[in-house]
């Protein structure tokens, strides 16, 4: 009997404990609900429209400490210490580019940049190079783009000397293994075969041809026939023409001691012979290939149209670049004229854009476009044309100007997200002959831009009468037809030219 009484008391205590826990849980839940409700009321009462938000003034941005020096062989070096992480990154910019390759061998520069790394060096085979880097979680990469060559490395601080040695081997002693060139060509053939799969890619590629001319280096494309003409000897010759210490800018950032880094650079690159015959290459001339017209690529499988309109543009060093960038802010983004009018009010597209897109040392483009339903194609193009003319005719409002300038200035900080990005920017400015403080001059010019400036540059640089229009879409589904835009619509054939396979070199 006593045992049952004990068990009963235990059960009672357990019930009481459970009740207390349940009561406590209910109290806490009620308190949280009450707090959340009150917080929600307060948040609702204090919520403001995005146009009423007050942004804190931008903090002054300063460049991290760095040093620049030149080796006796002409190699320009930038060093920037950053001890936050035990990592070191390096980049070499080479004064070369695909725009300098012969027109009959389009693809040569790209193959040179790729196989320079994948083909191994005189001291290490491709597999040996890969294994040594993988064991250290390091990387060495090379490439050649439109206007420059690029070689880079990433390494842990403790592996810096080894990885930097491999990096300099790739720079100085590539062997361009034939089998790696063959592999790169095979991959390129696959890319050529697939290049018409994406309508936006078609539009971008063909629009550049319409603006620059299909034979211009800024618009020409690699074809089977040009690919077949590229040999290993061509890669060696292209490399030997441009890869010299007095034709490079090297930048290194990370966890290192600058004095020791100087010694390492001198040991690995100081005896690299300069080429006294290096001259600044003659850049290709850029003239507008078309000063108007409507062009069309028929893709019957599509249910919407990809549209681009625009004309030849300008360079970053134009004194009006800052005002043109503010103009971009008026046209683009949430709250921009194109978004508000073409997307929101007329409902013609999910995405729409228009911007002045300059380049460092050759004219870029003014380009606008987006995607829309096939049956809204003509209306979409007309809406773009109307907004281009409106920004010339109607001065931007104070609200539009403030929004565009604040957006532009607030995004300025993203130019300095990390030391590597900052150092690469300094190197790029030297590469193209821009002042080191170019970005800060631009920042001040944006802040000083007025509504009068925006209208002036819109009138001066936007050329509605010279607009080139390209549509990639389903011809039978585009109603009304494109002839409502122009009496003559020029078709573009994007069929991929074939060529007979060539014997391996």
How large is the C-alpha radius of gyration of the chain?
30
Cis peptide before 81 (omega within 30 of 0): no
Say yes or no to pLDDT of 505 above 50. Answer: no
Residue 155 has pLDDT above 80, yes or no: yes
Q: What is the pTM of this model?
A: 0.85
Structure confidence at residue 333 (pLDDT): 87
Whether the pLDDT of residue 26 is over 60: the answer is: no
**What distance in Å separates the CA atoms of residue 157 and residue 144, rounded to the nearest whole number?**
27
Instruction: State the pLDDT at residue 36.
Output: 44
4 pLDDT band, cuts 50/70/90, is very low
Residue in 306, 271, 329, 261 with CA at minimum distance from that of residue 80:
261
Residue 280 — pLDDT band, cuts 50, 70, 90? confident
d(CA 502, CA 492): 28
Q: Between 254 and 50, whose confidence is greater?
A: 254
pLDDT at 46: 59
- How do beta strands 149-156 and 139-144 pair? antiparallel
- Could you tell me which residues come within 8 angstroms of residue 432 by beta carbon, excluding any fewer than 6 positions away? 360, 361
Is residue 1 predicted with pLDDT exceeding 50?
Answer: no
Average pLDDT over residues 48-74: 77
The confidence band for 104, taking pLDDT boundaries of 50, 70 and 90, is very high
pLDDT on residue 415:
82
Structure tokens at 459: 């009138």
- Quick check: 66 pLDDT over 60? yes
Instruction: Kindly give, in sequence order, each residue whose CB lies less than 8 Å from that of residue 431, ignoring residues fewer than 6 positions away.
Output: 93, 95, 148, 249
Summary mean pLDDT of the chain:
90
Per-residue confidence (pLDDT) for residue 412, from 0 to 100: 84
Residue 8 pLDDT greater than 90, yes or no: no
Question: Residue 429 contacts by C-beta under 8 Å, 6 or more apart in sequence?
Answer: 435, 436, 438
Q: Are strands 365-373 and 293-298 parallel, antiparallel or unpaired?
A: unpaired
- Does 38 have pLDDT greater than 50? no
The larger pLDDT score, comparing residue 56 to residue 421, is at 421
Per-residue pLDDT band for 52 (boundaries 50, 70, 90) equals low
How far apart, in Å, are the Cα atoms of 218 and each of 102, 288, 291?
13, 12, 17
Distance CA 186, CA 203 (A): 25
Three-state helix/strand/coil letters over 434-498:
CCCCHHHHHHHHHHHCCHHHHHHHHHHHCCHHHCEEEEEECHHHCCCCHHHCCCCEEECCCCCCC
Residue 29 pLDDT > 50, yes or no?
no
Residue 149 neighbours by CB distance under 10 Å: 25
- pLDDT > 60? residue 137: yes
pLDDT at residue 25 greater than cutoff 70: no
Other C-beta atoms within 10 Å of 80: how many? 22
Residue 60 pLDDT level (bands cut at 50, 70, 90):
confident
Question: Residue range 46-64: average pLDDT?
Answer: 65
Mean pLDDT for the stretch of residues 322-347: 94
Q: Using alpha carbons only, what angle is made at residue 462 by residues 408 and 208, rounded to the nearest 5 degrees?
A: 90
Segment 181-229, tens digit of pLDDT: 999 999 999 999 999 999 999 999 999 999 999 999 999 999 999 999 9
Domains of the chain: 67-269 (3.30.830.10), 293-491 (3.30.830.10)
What's the pLDDT score for residue 79? 98
Task: Quote the pLDDT of residue 27.
Answer: 44
* Nearest Cα to Cα of residue 243 among 79, 408, 113: 113
Smallest CA-to-CA distance from 191 within 169, 222, 170, 232 is with 222
The reported pLDDT for the residue numbered 270 is 97
What's the CA gap between 347 and 342, in Å, rounded? 6
In the chain, the percentage of residues whose pLDDT exceeds 70 is 87
Average the pLDDT over 268-296 and give the result.
Answer: 94
Is residue 61 predicted with pLDDT exceeding 80? no
Check pLDDT > 90 for residue 71.
Answer: yes
């Amino acid at each position: 009997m006593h045992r049952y009484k004990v068990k009963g008391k235990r059960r009672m205590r357990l019930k009481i404990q459970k009740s207390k826990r349940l009561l406590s849980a209910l109290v806490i839940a009620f308190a949280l609900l009450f707090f959340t409700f009150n917080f929600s009321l307060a948040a609702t009462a204090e919520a403001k429209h995005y146009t009423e938000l007050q942004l804190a003034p931008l903090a002054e941005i300063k460049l991290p400490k760095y040093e620049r020096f030149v080796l006796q062989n002409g190699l320009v070096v930038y060093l920037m210490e950053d001890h936050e992480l035990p990592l070191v990154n390096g980049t070499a910019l080479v004064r070369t580019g695909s725009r300098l390759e012969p027109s009959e061998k389009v693809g040569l520069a790209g193959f040179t940049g790729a196989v320079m790394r994948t083909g191994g060096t005189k001291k290490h085979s491709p597999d040996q190079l890969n294994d040594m880097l993988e064991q250290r979680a390091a990387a060495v990469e090379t490439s050649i783009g439109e206007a420059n060559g690029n070689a880079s490395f990433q390494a842990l601080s403790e592996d810096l000397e080894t990885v930097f040695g491999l990096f300099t081997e790739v720079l100085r002693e590539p062997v361009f293994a034939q089998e790696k060139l063959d592999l790169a060509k095979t991959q390129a053939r696959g890319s050529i075969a697939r290049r018409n799969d994406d309508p936006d890619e078609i539009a971008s590629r063909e629009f550049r041809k319409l603006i620059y001319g299909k034979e211009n280096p800024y618009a020409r494309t690699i074809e089977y026939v040009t690919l077949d003409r590229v040999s290993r000897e061509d890669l060696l010759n292209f490399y030997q023409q441009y890869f010299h210490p007095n034709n490079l800018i090297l930048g290194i950032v990370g966890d290192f001691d600058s004095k020791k880094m100087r010694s390492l650079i001198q040991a690995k690159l100081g005896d690299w012979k300069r080429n006294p015959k290096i001259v600044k290459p003659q850049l290709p001339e850029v003239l507008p290939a078309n000063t108007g017209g409507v062009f069309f690529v028929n893709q019957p499988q599509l249910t919407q149209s990809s549209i681009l309109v625009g004309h030849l543009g300008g360079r970053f060093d134009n004194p009006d670049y800052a005002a043109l960038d503010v103009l971009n802010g008026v046209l683009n983004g949430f709250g921009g004229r194109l978004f508000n009018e073409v997307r929101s009010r007329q409902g013609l597209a999910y995405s729409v854009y228009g911007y002045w897109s300059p380049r460092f040392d050759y004219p870029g483009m003014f380009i606008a476009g987006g995607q829309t339903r096939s049956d809204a194609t003509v209306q979409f193009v007309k809406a773009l044309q109307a907004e281009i003319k409106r920004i010339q005719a109607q001065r931007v409002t104070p609200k539009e100007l403030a929004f565009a300038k604040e957006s532009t200035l607030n995004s300025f900080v993203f130019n300095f997200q990390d030391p590597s990005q900052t150092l690469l920017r300094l190197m790029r400015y030297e590469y193209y002959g821009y002042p080191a403080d170019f970005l800060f001059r631009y920042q001040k010019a944006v802040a000083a831009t007025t509504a009068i400036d925006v209208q002036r540059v819109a009138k001066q640089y936007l050329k509605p009468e010279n607009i080139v229009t390209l549509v990639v879409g389903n011809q039978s589904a585009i109603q009304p037809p494109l002839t409502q835009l122009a009496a003559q619509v020029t078709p573009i054939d994007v069929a991929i030219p074939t060529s007979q396979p060539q014997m391996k070199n």
